[in-house]
Amino acid sequence: MAQTLQQLKESLCDCKNCRLCEGRTNVVFGEGNPNARVMFIGEGPGKNEDEQGRPFVGRGGQLLDKMLDAVGLSREKNIFIANMVKCRPPENRDPQPDEMEACLPYLREQVKIIRPRFIVCLGRISAQRLISPDFKVTKQHGELYEKNGVLMMGTFHPAAILRNPNQKEPGFEDFLKLRETIKKECPEVYDL
């Protein structure tokens, strides 16, 4: 069993546990503070992420970084960002259920090592797998759920906000609510 994030990362760099290994350039493990109390979880790497081996580095990632910065969060400082699947689905399609199940042990291990107090699901795919199978982002975004001692929130995926700019305002309100909840529940996040 992996003991540290680095060991876990090394253990999956040759992973062939699902068909997504066939088209990948890099496994996108995730990045951020290994002691983060807040994790953001998206669905899977896109083209830029696959090429660079880093999560959320395309236009959606730049928007995410800006929204995070506005509420005092950043991957360089106090959060960790990962995805449901670590390899790029072809043509940016949604990850399929069996691919997510194959990759889930890695995410579970990441959560076990990091032990976040908050998990923010970016988009429907991760919210439906991690919060509730019938989660509707347009209706339930910004709501808080407690599961096994972790406060969970689903919100819009930044790529969806780029496609539908009218989601930007409600998405940002979710981030503001997250900041207030973090300050109340876990103020040390802002001391990291």
Smallest distance, ligand SF4 to C-beta of residue 82, A: 11
| Contact (CB, 8 A) for 88 and 46 | yes
Q: Strands, DSSP E only, in the chain? A: 31-32, 38-42, 79-83, 118-122, 144-147, 150-155
Q: Please provide residue 190's backbone torsions phi and psi, each rounded to the nearest 5 degrees.
A: -85, 5
CB of 24 to ligand SF4, least distance (A): 6
Question: What secondary structure letter does DSSP report for 91?
Answer: G
- Contact with ligand SF4 (CB under 6 A) among 37, 54, 75, 86: 86
Name the one range near ligand SF4 by CB under 6 A: 81-89, 113-121, 148-156, 173-181.
Answer: 81-89
The 93-112 contact track toward ligand SF4, x by CB under 6 A, reads: ------x--xx---------
Check binding of 87 to ligand SF4 (CB under 6 A): yes
Closest residue by Cα to residue 105 from 174, 6, 192, 18? 18
Spatial separation of the C-alpha atoms in residues 160 and 78, rounded to whole Å? 24
Binding string to ligand SF4 for residues 7 to 46, with x set by CB under 6 A, is what? Answer: -----x--xxxx-xx-----x-------------------
d(CA 40, CA 63): 14
Strands 144-147 and 150-155, sheet pairing: antiparallel
Per CB under 6 A, 2 contacts ligand SF4: no
Segment 116-175, which members bind ligand SF4 (CB under 6 A)?
none
Only segment of 34-42, 83-91, 146-154, 162-170 that touches ligand SF4 (CB under 6 A): 83-91
CA angle 171, 91, 28 (to 5 degrees): 70
57 near ligand SF4, judged by CB under 6 A? no
Give contact residues for ligand SF4 (rule: CB under 6 A). Answer: 12, 15-18, 20-21, 27, 85-87, 99, 102-103
